[in-house]
Structure 1
């Protein structure tokens, strides 16, 4: 039997070509998934580094400086340490709830990033109910914390989970009413439409000036949702040891801190989108392009500027929750609930009624 070497080479080259086509198809599918995850991870690492440096400056001490230049790799070192630590389980706890709780907290917050726009076309899911989808998804996270506290079979952990659930319910309603006021002003619940509605009048068209009361309520409610001081009662060290985290160790313990910083980042991004004009900048693009000697007609210019402006506003806003951690005392549980139900809820409801009335009279 005579084998034609030319045919064999053609078959091999064809099979290699098919393999490369399939591999490239898989890569193009994975790129939209891993690119946002990588960006979110870098964003969280930047927040951790910023908080440590700002906290060190407020307390007049030296922050992390050994892990990388200016201590930028300290968060990675801490994460690697937790990754290789042993995972312990409480002897009489519910193992399934104990294991699922941290995952629910992280995944529910990660899904919220799908509706955050960095440009008119730079959004994973431009939905008509974008802002309310964020509220609905993020409200699942306290369920994971409650499951973690219950599954730990520890009274301090369970009390921390109950506090997290009560705090989330108390401040979710004022936050939702503020978002509803923004939707009425923008005539849309899409995050992209809300940003574009603010761009019509430049800097003075930001919802920060049109909804100052709503902005303050949204800020306070966001701090409470992120469990930042003065609202960190679910994990108050002096009262509950470590709250719902008491029985956790290793990577599960690290997931709670990842969820906390993810929630802080997504809240700051939504403050930028809802109140600070999103990716829009008051300076005309032509001035920015001339200043940096960039071709305005280049298709990469506007998306790049949009991402930069959104992140710049977000990280500037992050100075508020970081500094309040070291300037305000912790509230008592009754004070926290009274603030949410007796003050923020009526004020946010009145703000919604005023916004509705102004929109009706403007028709």
Structure 2
């Protein structure tokens, strides 16, 4: 059983041992080759995930919309991703005559690089992580922000007004939704006392390695806002305003074709999968789980989160720009700040460590009791904020109805006269 559970670590240690035996005369060279091989494996995993997810999403959305989906290329259409890859490789690669060629050509590469480097700090199993950074959470957010630079490069370098408009929308949307995303990561960081993703997973497990209380129980509001902000960060439906075909003819990548377009496509899916992995790590316990191997648990949790992405894409219409920004700046950000302050106060008042209770005061409670207190507080904040928003919307509707009724009466009076 230990062989199955620790399979990734055993394989990694075995390959590292072979490399060290070959390059034993130079430890630096051995480490360099090991890191290079690990990077190649992560890139291969991301590329294979991209191929698989494109097929699965087409099938899921087809089922939601009562269609068949891919069924011609190979059995059950399983070769459709390969057919798409061949199409991208053989499609003509065009460049606008007035484009800034360096910026235009670098943008697809930059977005792919930023998307892939996100996986460097993701723990896939105990001891299986590219690098355990002590600021892993901020690294993830910073790498996710890097795609903004690539999209602006694509919009500017294309010298196309529609592409530039799509790039400007990127600044407003992606930068805006980073604020609530960061605000709702902070409660997890506070309760863990660390920015390391490994430490965050360990905090959600018991001393013997069994799954403990996931942080989604402590902070359901933070989990919900982080998930929605992650969808907006990756530009997926219903927040796909960066590439709204009905308004700006595909937005920032309208001038791209062939493999350059494929790199943008890869960046979107790899970033979305990274959001699913990070959400699973922060709020669902990461690879912690009974019976099954750790890496299987992480894959299952990320698959469930990504299925939610696909479900939303197949069912919800695209929101308007004003609705998207109102949701962020008028709801998520202020309520997230209130939630953060309440969490800080409750964690100061109810502590689980006898040393903290003795040093700083507070009521000593069990982790389960602390989870229940924070869960109730988070739900009350969510329900209360929704009630306030619903009441405000009802008042606005009544005011609009009154204005319409007044205009109707004035029109009737004018016609009668």
TM-score range, shorter chain: 0.7 to 0.9
Shift of 1:30: 4.3
Residues matched between the structures, number: 324
**SS of the counterpart of 1:200?**
coil
**SS of the counterpart of 1:87?**
coil
Query: 2:118 corresponds to which residue?
Result: 112
The answer (yes or no) to whether the contact 1:184–1:355 under 8 Å persists in 2 is no
Matched, 1:93 2:99: yes
Q: Encode CA deviations 1:127-174: one digit per residue, 9 max, x unaligned.
A: 110011110121011111011011111111000011112101110010
The TM-score normalised by the length of structure 2 is 0.74
Query: 2:281 corresponds to which residue?
Result: 273
Query: 2:341 corresponds to which residue?
Result: 353
Picking from 162, 168, 192, the partner of 1:162 is: 168
* C-alpha separation in 2, matches of 1:106 and 1:116: 17
Query: 1:207 corresponds to which residue?
Result: 215
**SS of the counterpart of 1:330?**
coil
* C-alpha separation in 2, matches of 1:30 and 1:212: 39
Query: 1:62 corresponds to which residue?
Result: 68
* C-alpha separation in 1, matches of 2:97 and 2:34: 45
Picking from 190, 213, 237, the partner of 1:229 is: 237
The answer (yes or no) to whether the contact 2:115–2:271 under 8 Å persists in 1 is yes
The TM-score normalised by the length of structure 1 is 0.85
The answer (yes or no) to whether the contact 1:185–1:355 under 8 Å persists in 2 is no
* C-alpha separation in 2, matches of 1:27 and 1:330: 46
Matched, 1:329 2:301: no
* C-alpha separation in 1, matches of 2:71 and 2:317: 28
* C-alpha separation in 2, matches of 1:353 and 1:270: 24
Indicate the RMSD between aligned Cα atoms, in angstroms: 2.0
**SS of the counterpart of 1:260?**
helix
Picking from 260, 264, 268, the partner of 1:252 is: 260
Shift of 1:350: 1.5
The answer (yes or no) to whether the contact 1:143–1:165 under 8 Å persists in 2 is no
* C-alpha separation in 1, matches of 2:242 and 2:75: 34
Query: 1:49 corresponds to which residue?
Result: 55
Picking from 264, 271, 296, the partner of 1:263 is: 271
Shift of 1:28: 5.2
Shift of 1:190: 0.4
Moved more, 35-44 or 143-152: 35-44
**SS of the counterpart of 1:230?**
coil
Gaps of at least 5 residues in structure 1 are 1-19, 289-304
Q: Encode CA deviations 1:208-239: one digit per residue, 9 max, x unaligned.
A: 11100001100110010011111000100100
The answer (yes or no) to whether the contact 2:206–2:212 under 8 Å persists in 1 is no
Q: Encode CA deviations 1:311-337: one digit per residue, 9 max, x unaligned.
A: 011111111110111211111111111
Shift of 1:66: 2.4
The answer (yes or no) to whether the contact 1:48–1:75 under 8 Å persists in 2 is yes
Query: 1:318 corresponds to which residue?
Result: 306
Query: 2:77 corresponds to which residue?
Result: 71
* C-alpha separation in 2, matches of 1:237 and 1:268: 26
* C-alpha separation in 1, matches of 2:296 and 2:346: 34
**SS of the counterpart of 1:318?**
helix
Moved more, 353-362 or 131-140: 353-362
Moved more, 271-280 or 201-210: 201-210
Shift of 1:95: 1.1
Query: 1:10 corresponds to which residue?
Result: none
Shift of 1:105: 1.1
Moved more, 81-90 or 140-149: 81-90
Shift of 1:359: 2.1
Matched, 1:33 2:33: no
* C-alpha separation in 1, matches of 2:46 and 2:309: 19
Shift of 1:61: 1.4
Taking a change above 3 Å as real, the CA distance of residues 357 and 200 of structure 1, as seen in their structure-2 partners, is: farther
* C-alpha separation in 1, matches of 2:58 and 2:230: 21
* C-alpha separation in 1, matches of 2:347 and 2:78: 48
Shift of 1:181: 1.3
Query: 1:344 corresponds to which residue?
Result: 332
Shift of 1:120: 2.4
